[in-house]
Amino acid sequence: MELENKKIKIQAKNLNVYYGAKQALFNINLEINQKEVTALIGPSGCGKSTFIRCINRMNDVIDICKVDGSIEIDGSEINDKKVDVVMLREKIGMVFQKPNPFPKSIYDNIAYGPIIHGLAEEKNQMDNIVETSLKKAALWDEVKDRLDEPGTSLSGGQQQRLCIARALSVSPEVILMDEPCSALDPIATAKIEELIDELKKSYTIVIVTHSMAQAVRVSQKTGFFHMGKIIEVDSTDKIFKNPSNKMTQDYITGRFG
């Protein structure tokens, strides 16, 4: 299957990342298409999480971390000093491995982002954002009668969907997911995967996963990282049926090392 000629949303060019003296990413060049799911796979420590943390400049908070090279979103350099990181992160939501709801009510978990970004002036506007975000995250029907209960009272899978709803509440364009299902059971995982399918119609999604089966199920493009380098990027179909690189093949078939 040929990669369709889609619009590039995110483009990394010659990206290098260092943690102190240790180089974590080497000359990464990667294009991420708009409104598509890109899966990043590779063994632990290969740099895939470091890479997605570059996309919303999460590495800024690590003192010893130095990023050079370029990441453009819609053609604009995000590492530019003039870029407002808060605004950048409004555009790029992130969901982590372990669901991390705030110790607040379900409602306030969703309302928090829109409040700090000043997205709603009136209560009914905020109600609307909360409802829409929860609906988009396929959680509304399960929580609509208990919005004032703590987010932490939900099941693991529901908490993860709450975190996705929270990310959606500030109307992002890109959603980064760092192993979003690794702490979830198969049914909760299936619900998140179903949600990813739905969300890709409106958002650009980058997902880091250790599950090959998940990468095959949810993504259209897959990138294989190894020791800080990108080894192969191609359509997911090609990567899992007939990868070009032997190292990719050895990794996905369980022959590594």
45 binds other proteins (CB under 8 A): no
- The structure tokens listed for 180 are 């979003």
User: Of 227-256, which residues contact other proteins (CB under 8 A)?
Assistant: 239-243, 246, 248-250, 252-256
Residue 253 beta carbon to other proteins: minimum distance, rounded to whole angstroms: 5
Q: Return the number of the residue (228 or 243) whose C-beta is nearest other proteins.
A: 243
Q: Return the number of the residue (186 or 254) whose C-beta is nearest other proteins.
A: 254
Q: Return the number of the residue (79 or 245) whose C-beta is nearest other proteins.
A: 245
46 binds other proteins (CB under 8 A): no
Give ∠ CA 211-216-222 in degrees, rounded to 5. 90
Binding-site member from 83, 115, 119, 212 for other proteins (CB under 8 A): 212
186 binds other proteins (CB under 8 A): no
146 binds other proteins (CB under 8 A): no
75 binds other proteins (CB under 8 A): no
Q: Return the number of the residue (62 or 247) whose C-beta is nearest other proteins.
A: 247
Residue 164 beta carbon to other proteins: minimum distance, rounded to whole angstroms: 26
Q: Return the number of the residue (42 or 101) whose C-beta is nearest other proteins.
A: 42
257 binds other proteins (CB under 8 A): yes
